[in-house]
């Protein structure tokens, strides 16, 4: 008969634990969703502006960083600019279209030096943000399910149009 009080104590403990942790999981998943939405919006706005104007300014990049800082996560930023160039060739057409790639370091160096990074119509611009740590909702969920947490990963980009 000693087993019955111990079983009741364990059952009560797990019920109280579930009543406390299920709302916590719901709240943290909601926070993750809002964070993802804010980051997607900031990255998409930055990318759309860069592609439509054909350039990135230091001020625009600082605005993106401040929007990201508001989410309380650190992010790794990847940027790639592929510039279309036409190179003379002895083939049938007399030329070959190629792309020169400029990565994050190249773009940031130009931004630091001149304050503006310019792209041409027809180039491709790509940006991807990845959170440096797992989101709190995925971390808490992972504790209960044994699955690893996930990081936010938001890509954006496309062809530069220079429409403005």
Tens of pLDDT, residue by residue over 90-114, are 777 778 888 899 999 999 999 999 9
Mean pLDDT of the chain: 87
Instruction: Name the strand (E) or helix (H) holding 111.
Output: helix 104-114
In this structure, of 63-67, 117-121, 147-151, the range with the lowest mean pLDDT score is 147-151
Q: What pLDDT score was predicted for residue 162?
A: 64
Residue 104's Cβ-count burial label (10 Å; 0-12, 13-18, 19+) is: middle
* Structure tokens, 108: 């940031």
Domain extent listing, the chain: 3-159
pLDDT at position 164 is 52
pTM, full prediction: 0.79
């Amino acid at each position: 008969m000693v087993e019955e009080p111990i079983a009741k104590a364990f059952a009560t403990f797990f019920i109280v634990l579930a009543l406390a942790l299920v709302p916590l999981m719901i709240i943290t998943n909601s926070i993750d969703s809002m964070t993802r939405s804010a980051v997607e919006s900031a990255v998409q706005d930055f990318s759309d502006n860069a592609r439509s104007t054909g350039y990135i300014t230091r001020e625009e990049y600082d605005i993106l960083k401040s929007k990201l800082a508001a989410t309380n996560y650190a992010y790794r930023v990847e940027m790639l600019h592929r510039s279309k160039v036409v190179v003379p060739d002895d083939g049938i057409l007399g030329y070959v279209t190629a792309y020169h790639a400029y990565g994050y370091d190249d773009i940031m160096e130009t931004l630091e030096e001149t304050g503006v990074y310019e792209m041409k119509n027809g180039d491709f611009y790509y940006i991807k943000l990845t959170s440096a740590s797992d989101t709190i909702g995925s971390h808490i969920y992972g504790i209960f399910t044994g699955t690893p947490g996930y990081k936010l990963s938001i890509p954006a980009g496309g062809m530069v149009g220079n429409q403005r």
